[in-house]
Amino acid sequence: MKVLVAGGAGFIGSCTSEYLLDNGHEVVVFDSLVKGHRDAVDPRADFVQGDLGDALAIERAMVAHRPEGIIHFAAFIEVGESMVDPGKYFRNNVACGLNLLEAAAHNDVRKIVFSSTAAVYGMPKTIPISEREPTIPVNPYGESKLMFERILRWYHEIHGLQYTALRYFNAAGCSPNFGEDHNPESHLIPIIMQAAEGKRESIKIFGTDYPTPDGTCIRDYVHVLDLAQAHLLALESHEVGAFNLGSGAGHSVRSIIDTVREISGQEFRVDEAARRSGDPPRLISDSAAARATLGWKPKFDDIHEIVESAWRWRCDHPKGYAR
Ligand code: UFG
Protein backbone atom coordinates (compact mmCIF):
# COMPACT_ATOMS: atom_id res chain seq x y z
CA MET A 1 0.00 0.00 0.00
CA LYS A 2 1.13 3.55 -0.64
CA VAL A 3 0.81 5.53 2.59
CA LEU A 4 1.12 9.26 3.20
CA VAL A 5 2.50 9.80 6.70
CA ALA A 6 1.74 13.31 7.96
CA GLY A 7 4.19 14.08 10.75
CA GLY A 8 6.49 11.26 9.61
CA ALA A 9 9.62 13.12 10.80
CA GLY A 10 8.55 13.00 14.46
CA PHE A 11 9.18 10.25 17.02
CA ILE A 12 6.30 7.83 16.46
CA GLY A 13 5.90 8.90 12.81
CA SER A 14 9.52 8.08 11.89
CA CYS A 15 9.47 4.70 13.66
CA THR A 16 6.15 3.79 12.01
CA SER A 17 7.36 4.86 8.55
CA GLU A 18 10.40 2.62 8.94
CA TYR A 19 8.15 -0.26 10.03
CA LEU A 20 5.86 0.21 7.01
CA LEU A 21 8.84 0.28 4.63
CA ASP A 22 10.32 -2.83 6.27
CA ASN A 23 6.98 -4.54 5.62
CA GLY A 24 6.97 -3.75 1.91
CA HIS A 25 4.81 -0.63 1.83
CA GLU A 26 5.56 2.66 0.08
CA VAL A 27 5.77 5.78 2.24
CA VAL A 28 5.48 9.50 1.48
CA VAL A 29 6.39 11.61 4.51
CA PHE A 30 4.66 15.01 4.68
CA ASP A 31 6.16 17.11 7.48
CA SER A 32 6.76 20.81 8.12
CA LEU A 33 9.92 20.06 10.17
CA VAL A 34 8.68 22.60 12.74
CA LYS A 35 9.02 19.83 15.35
CA GLY A 36 10.24 16.90 13.24
CA HIS A 37 13.79 16.24 12.02
CA ARG A 38 14.94 15.83 8.41
CA ASP A 39 17.28 13.03 9.56
CA ALA A 40 14.30 11.19 11.02
CA VAL A 41 12.86 10.71 7.52
CA ASP A 42 13.67 7.21 6.33
CA PRO A 43 15.86 7.49 3.18
CA ARG A 44 13.61 4.96 1.42
CA ALA A 45 10.57 7.28 1.78
CA ASP A 46 9.58 10.14 -0.51
CA PHE A 47 9.68 13.40 1.41
CA VAL A 48 7.49 16.48 0.98
CA GLN A 49 8.26 19.40 3.28
CA GLY A 50 4.95 21.10 3.86
CA ASP A 51 2.62 22.40 6.53
CA LEU A 52 -0.93 21.12 6.97
CA GLY A 53 -1.96 24.75 7.44
CA ASP A 54 -1.23 25.14 3.70
CA ALA A 55 -4.26 23.52 2.00
CA LEU A 56 -2.67 23.77 -1.44
CA ALA A 57 0.55 22.04 -0.30
CA ILE A 58 -1.25 18.96 1.03
CA GLU A 59 -3.60 18.86 -1.97
CA ARG A 60 -0.60 18.95 -4.33
CA ALA A 61 1.17 16.18 -2.39
CA MET A 62 -1.96 14.06 -2.56
CA VAL A 63 -2.40 14.56 -6.31
CA ALA A 64 1.29 13.91 -7.00
CA HIS A 65 1.58 10.76 -4.88
CA ARG A 66 -1.97 9.32 -4.87
CA PRO A 67 -1.76 7.49 -1.51
CA GLU A 68 -4.32 4.79 -0.72
CA GLY A 69 -3.97 5.35 3.01
CA ILE A 70 -2.95 8.12 5.40
CA ILE A 71 -1.48 8.07 8.90
CA HIS A 72 -1.88 11.41 10.64
CA PHE A 73 0.69 12.10 13.38
CA ALA A 74 1.22 15.82 12.74
CA ALA A 75 0.27 17.64 15.95
CA PHE A 76 1.58 19.60 18.90
CA ILE A 77 1.84 17.34 21.96
CA GLU A 78 2.70 19.35 25.06
CA VAL A 79 -0.09 19.25 27.60
CA GLY A 80 1.40 22.10 29.70
CA GLU A 81 1.80 24.40 26.69
CA SER A 82 -1.79 23.70 25.65
CA MET A 83 -2.96 25.09 29.02
CA VAL A 84 -1.11 28.35 28.31
CA ASP A 85 -1.82 28.71 24.58
CA PRO A 86 -4.98 26.73 23.70
CA GLY A 87 -5.39 28.49 20.35
CA LYS A 88 -2.09 27.04 19.13
CA TYR A 89 -3.47 23.54 19.80
CA PHE A 90 -6.92 24.00 18.30
CA ARG A 91 -5.46 25.71 15.23
CA ASN A 92 -2.77 23.12 14.52
CA ASN A 93 -4.36 19.91 15.78
CA VAL A 94 -7.91 20.60 14.56
CA ALA A 95 -8.07 23.33 11.91
CA CYS A 96 -4.88 22.37 10.03
CA GLY A 97 -5.85 18.70 10.16
CA LEU A 98 -9.05 19.59 8.29
CA ASN A 99 -6.97 20.44 5.22
CA LEU A 100 -5.66 16.88 5.29
CA LEU A 101 -9.18 15.44 5.57
CA GLU A 102 -10.52 17.60 2.74
CA ALA A 103 -7.66 16.52 0.48
CA ALA A 104 -8.23 12.87 1.51
CA ALA A 105 -11.96 13.05 0.86
CA HIS A 106 -11.67 14.25 -2.74
CA ASN A 107 -8.61 12.20 -3.69
CA ASP A 108 -10.16 8.76 -3.07
CA VAL A 109 -8.15 7.91 0.01
CA ARG A 110 -9.57 4.69 1.45
CA LYS A 111 -8.40 4.87 5.04
CA ILE A 112 -6.96 7.26 7.61
CA VAL A 113 -5.30 6.22 10.86
CA PHE A 114 -5.23 8.99 13.42
CA SER A 115 -2.76 9.45 16.24
CA SER A 116 -4.93 10.07 19.30
CA THR A 117 -4.17 9.91 23.00
CA ALA A 118 -5.17 8.67 26.44
CA ALA A 119 -5.56 12.37 27.27
CA VAL A 120 -9.09 12.16 25.74
CA TYR A 121 -10.17 10.44 29.00
CA GLY A 122 -9.08 13.25 31.33
CA MET A 123 -9.32 11.93 34.91
CA PRO A 124 -10.69 8.42 34.31
CA LYS A 125 -12.75 6.77 37.04
CA THR A 126 -12.16 3.15 36.05
CA ILE A 127 -8.71 1.55 35.84
CA PRO A 128 -7.74 -0.11 33.55
CA ILE A 129 -9.28 2.30 31.07
CA SER A 130 -11.33 0.83 28.25
CA GLU A 131 -12.83 2.70 25.29
CA ARG A 132 -16.15 2.73 27.19
CA GLU A 133 -14.71 5.22 29.70
CA PRO A 134 -16.31 8.67 29.28
CA THR A 135 -14.16 11.09 27.29
CA ILE A 136 -13.82 14.27 29.35
CA PRO A 137 -10.46 15.88 28.51
CA VAL A 138 -8.92 18.14 31.14
CA ASN A 139 -6.63 20.11 28.83
CA PRO A 140 -6.84 21.64 25.32
CA TYR A 141 -4.36 19.06 23.98
CA GLY A 142 -6.69 16.17 24.84
CA GLU A 143 -9.71 18.19 23.72
CA SER A 144 -8.12 18.92 20.34
CA LYS A 145 -7.52 15.19 19.76
CA LEU A 146 -11.08 14.30 20.78
CA MET A 147 -12.50 17.01 18.50
CA PHE A 148 -10.56 15.55 15.59
CA GLU A 149 -11.84 12.04 16.37
CA ARG A 150 -15.39 13.43 16.21
CA ILE A 151 -14.69 15.20 12.93
CA LEU A 152 -13.39 11.90 11.53
CA ARG A 153 -16.71 10.24 12.34
CA TRP A 154 -18.53 12.79 10.17
CA TYR A 155 -16.10 12.38 7.28
CA HIS A 156 -16.78 8.66 7.52
CA GLU A 157 -20.57 9.12 7.54
CA ILE A 158 -20.67 11.74 4.82
CA HIS A 159 -17.69 10.95 2.58
CA GLY A 160 -17.23 7.24 3.38
CA LEU A 161 -13.66 7.80 4.60
CA GLN A 162 -12.74 4.87 6.86
CA TYR A 163 -10.83 5.78 9.99
CA THR A 164 -9.20 4.29 13.04
CA ALA A 165 -8.19 6.52 15.96
CA LEU A 166 -5.42 5.02 18.09
CA ARG A 167 -5.34 6.33 21.64
CA TYR A 168 -1.77 5.87 22.84
CA PHE A 169 -0.72 5.75 26.44
CA ASN A 170 2.98 6.63 27.09
CA ALA A 171 5.09 5.87 24.02
CA ALA A 172 8.76 4.99 24.61
CA GLY A 173 11.71 3.08 23.13
CA CYS A 174 13.18 3.22 19.64
CA SER A 175 13.05 1.53 16.23
CA PRO A 176 16.18 0.16 14.52
CA ASN A 177 17.08 3.63 13.22
CA PHE A 178 14.89 6.24 14.89
CA GLY A 179 14.17 7.50 18.40
CA GLU A 180 12.78 10.24 20.61
CA ASP A 181 14.25 13.75 20.37
CA HIS A 182 11.87 16.54 21.36
CA ASN A 183 12.79 20.15 21.85
CA PRO A 184 12.00 21.09 24.54
CA GLU A 185 11.89 17.63 26.10
CA SER A 186 8.88 17.17 28.38
CA HIS A 187 8.48 13.41 28.65
CA LEU A 188 9.61 11.44 31.67
CA ILE A 189 11.92 8.75 30.22
CA PRO A 190 14.03 11.05 28.00
CA ILE A 191 14.23 13.62 30.82
CA ILE A 192 15.55 11.02 33.27
CA MET A 193 18.03 9.92 30.61
CA GLN A 194 19.25 13.50 30.18
CA ALA A 195 19.99 13.49 33.92
CA ALA A 196 21.78 10.14 33.58
CA GLU A 197 23.87 11.61 30.73
CA GLY A 198 24.78 14.62 32.85
CA LYS A 199 22.87 16.93 30.48
CA ARG A 200 20.63 18.19 33.25
CA GLU A 201 21.36 18.76 36.90
CA SER A 202 18.58 16.61 38.28
CA ILE A 203 15.25 15.00 37.62
CA LYS A 204 12.28 16.50 39.40
CA ILE A 205 9.48 14.19 40.53
CA PHE A 206 6.24 16.09 40.05
CA GLY A 207 4.29 15.06 43.13
CA THR A 208 5.07 12.44 45.77
CA ASP A 209 1.73 12.55 47.59
CA TYR A 210 -0.51 10.79 45.07
CA PRO A 211 -2.74 7.93 46.27
CA THR A 212 -0.39 5.31 44.81
CA PRO A 213 1.91 2.82 46.62
CA ASP A 214 5.02 5.06 46.43
CA GLY A 215 3.17 8.38 46.15
CA THR A 216 4.19 9.07 42.52
CA CYS A 217 2.07 8.89 39.36
CA ILE A 218 1.62 5.61 37.55
CA ARG A 219 1.71 5.38 33.75
CA ASP A 220 1.47 2.68 31.10
CA TYR A 221 4.56 2.66 28.85
CA VAL A 222 4.18 1.12 25.41
CA HIS A 223 7.01 0.40 22.96
CA VAL A 224 7.01 2.50 19.81
CA LEU A 225 7.45 -0.62 17.63
CA ASP A 226 4.27 -2.08 19.13
CA LEU A 227 2.54 1.19 18.23
CA ALA A 228 3.96 0.91 14.70
CA GLN A 229 2.55 -2.61 14.37
CA ALA A 230 -0.90 -1.33 15.45
CA HIS A 231 -0.83 1.40 12.78
CA LEU A 232 -0.21 -1.10 10.02
CA LEU A 233 -2.96 -3.41 11.32
CA ALA A 234 -5.34 -0.43 11.51
CA LEU A 235 -4.50 0.61 7.94
CA GLU A 236 -5.30 -2.86 6.67
CA SER A 237 -8.46 -3.25 8.75
CA HIS A 238 -11.99 -2.25 7.83
CA GLU A 239 -12.81 -1.47 11.46
CA VAL A 240 -13.90 2.09 12.14
CA GLY A 241 -13.57 3.63 15.60
CA ALA A 242 -11.15 4.29 18.45
CA PHE A 243 -8.79 1.84 20.16
CA ASN A 244 -6.55 2.14 23.21
CA LEU A 245 -2.90 1.13 22.86
CA GLY A 246 -1.00 0.41 26.04
CA SER A 247 0.92 -2.43 27.61
CA GLY A 248 -1.63 -2.83 30.42
CA ALA A 249 1.08 -2.55 33.10
CA GLY A 250 1.50 0.45 35.38
CA HIS A 251 4.88 1.89 36.48
CA SER A 252 5.41 4.72 38.95
CA VAL A 253 7.71 7.67 38.30
CA ARG A 254 10.06 6.41 41.05
CA SER A 255 10.23 2.92 39.55
CA ILE A 256 11.07 4.35 36.12
CA ILE A 257 13.87 6.39 37.70
CA ASP A 258 15.22 3.20 39.34
CA THR A 259 15.01 1.33 36.02
CA VAL A 260 16.97 4.06 34.20
CA ARG A 261 19.61 4.04 37.00
CA GLU A 262 19.96 0.28 36.68
CA ILE A 263 20.17 0.22 32.89
CA SER A 264 22.44 3.24 32.46
CA GLY A 265 24.61 2.43 35.47
CA GLN A 266 24.63 6.19 36.16
CA GLU A 267 23.84 8.06 39.37
CA PHE A 268 22.03 11.39 39.26
CA ARG A 269 20.17 13.73 41.56
CA VAL A 270 16.44 13.28 42.14
CA ASP A 271 14.43 16.19 43.56
CA GLU A 272 10.91 16.00 44.90
CA ALA A 273 8.77 18.79 43.50
CA ALA A 274 5.16 19.93 43.57
CA ARG A 275 2.48 18.20 41.50
CA ARG A 276 2.19 19.22 37.84
CA SER A 277 -1.32 20.47 37.21
CA GLY A 278 -3.63 18.15 35.31
CA ASP A 279 -1.73 14.90 36.01
CA PRO A 280 -4.07 11.95 36.73
CA PRO A 281 -2.61 9.66 39.47
CA ARG A 282 -2.95 6.46 37.40
CA LEU A 283 -3.33 5.80 33.70
CA ILE A 284 -3.35 2.15 32.72
CA SER A 285 -4.83 0.91 29.49
CA ASP A 286 -7.24 -1.87 28.75
CA SER A 287 -6.24 -2.63 25.16
CA ALA A 288 -8.33 -5.79 24.77
CA ALA A 289 -10.32 -4.26 21.90
CA ALA A 290 -7.19 -3.56 19.81
CA ARG A 291 -6.00 -7.12 20.40
CA ALA A 292 -9.36 -8.73 19.61
CA THR A 293 -10.48 -6.51 16.75
CA LEU A 294 -7.27 -5.37 15.05
CA GLY A 295 -5.30 -8.52 15.95
CA TRP A 296 -2.70 -6.41 17.78
CA LYS A 297 0.01 -8.52 19.45
CA PRO A 298 2.40 -6.23 21.35
CA LYS A 299 5.85 -7.80 21.70
CA PHE A 300 7.31 -5.70 24.52
CA ASP A 301 5.74 -6.31 27.91
CA ASP A 302 8.87 -5.80 30.02
CA ILE A 303 9.60 -2.23 31.11
CA HIS A 304 13.34 -3.06 31.23
CA GLU A 305 13.33 -3.86 27.52
CA ILE A 306 11.46 -0.63 26.75
CA VAL A 307 13.84 1.53 28.79
CA GLU A 308 16.88 -0.34 27.41
CA SER A 309 15.70 0.39 23.90
CA ALA A 310 15.34 4.12 24.66
CA TRP A 311 18.77 4.16 26.33
CA ARG A 312 20.40 2.35 23.38
CA TRP A 313 19.18 5.00 20.94
CA ARG A 314 20.52 7.78 23.16
CA CYS A 315 23.92 6.07 23.45
CA ASP A 316 24.06 5.74 19.66
CA HIS A 317 22.84 9.35 19.16
CA PRO A 318 24.30 11.42 22.00
CA LYS A 319 23.24 14.64 20.27
CA GLY A 320 19.86 13.32 19.15
CA TYR A 321 19.25 14.44 15.56
CA ALA A 322 21.53 17.49 15.87
CA ARG A 323 24.53 17.22 13.54
N1 UFG B 1 7.12 13.60 35.31
C2 UFG B 1 7.96 13.94 36.35
N3 UFG B 1 9.06 14.71 36.06
C4 UFG B 1 9.33 15.14 34.80
C5 UFG B 1 8.47 14.78 33.74
C6 UFG B 1 7.35 14.00 34.04
O7 UFG B 1 7.74 13.58 37.50
O8 UFG B 1 10.33 15.86 34.61
C9 UFG B 1 5.94 12.76 35.61
C10 UFG B 1 4.64 13.40 35.21
O11 UFG B 1 4.18 14.27 36.22
C12 UFG B 1 3.76 12.17 34.99
C13 UFG B 1 4.74 11.12 34.46
O14 UFG B 1 6.04 11.59 34.84
O15 UFG B 1 3.25 11.75 36.21
C16 UFG B 1 4.70 10.95 32.97
O17 UFG B 1 4.79 12.23 32.39
P18 UFG B 1 5.01 12.48 30.82
O19 UFG B 1 5.05 13.96 30.61
O20 UFG B 1 6.16 11.67 30.33
O21 UFG B 1 3.73 11.84 30.17
P22 UFG B 1 2.18 12.12 30.46
O23 UFG B 1 1.68 10.88 31.15
O24 UFG B 1 1.93 13.40 31.11
O25 UFG B 1 1.66 12.28 28.98
C26 UFG B 1 1.46 11.20 28.15
C27 UFG B 1 1.66 11.62 26.70
C28 UFG B 1 0.64 12.63 26.31
C29 UFG B 1 -0.72 12.08 26.62
C30 UFG B 1 -0.82 11.65 28.07
C31 UFG B 1 -2.12 11.02 28.39
O32 UFG B 1 2.93 12.15 26.53
O33 UFG B 1 0.75 12.89 24.95
O34 UFG B 1 0.17 10.72 28.35
O35 UFG B 1 -2.53 11.46 29.63
F36 UFG B 1 -1.64 13.02 26.41
The β-bridge partners of 271 are: 204
Same fold, 2-171+222-245 and 188-219+249-316: no
Q: Measured between alpha carbons, how far is 269 from 203 in angstroms, rounded to an integer?
A: 6
Q: Which CATH architecture has domain 188-219+249-316?
A: Alpha-Beta Complex (3.90)
Q: What is the mean pLDDT of the chain?
A: 97
Q: What is the pLDDT along the chain (323 residues), one digit of tens a residue?
A: 999 999 999 999 999 999 999 999 999 999 999 999 999 999 999 999 999 999 999 999 999 999 999 999 999 999 989 999 999 999 999 999 999 999 999 999 999 999 999 999 999 999 999 999 999 999 999 999 999 999 999 999 999 999 999 999 999 999 999 999 998 898 999 999 999 999 999 999 999 999 999 999 999 999 999 999 999 999 999 999 999 999 999 999 999 999 999 999 999 999 999 999 889 999 999 999 999 999 999 999 999 999 999 999 999 999 999 86
The predicted-structure confidence for 173-189, as pLDDT tens digits, reads as follows 999 999 999 988 989 99
- Please spell the DSSP secondary structure of 60-91, one letter per residue: HHHHHH--SEEEE------HHHHHH-HHHHII
Question: Residue 30: which residues within 8 A CB-CB, separation 6 or more?
Answer: 4, 5, 6, 7, 8, 48, 50, 52, 58, 61, 74
Q: What are the residue ranges spanned by the domains of the chain? A: 2-171+222-245, 188-219+249-316
| 141 in active site | yes
Point out the ligand 1 atom lying closest to the alpha carbon of residue 189: 20
pTM exceeding 0.75: yes
Please say whether the structural domain 2-171+222-245 has been given the CATH code 1.20.120.1630: no
- Residue 203 CA: nearest ligand 1 atom is 8
3-state secondary structure (DSSP) of residue 179: coil
Cβ of 193 below 6 Å from ligand 1: no
**Active site residue: 121, 141, 163, 168, which one?**
141
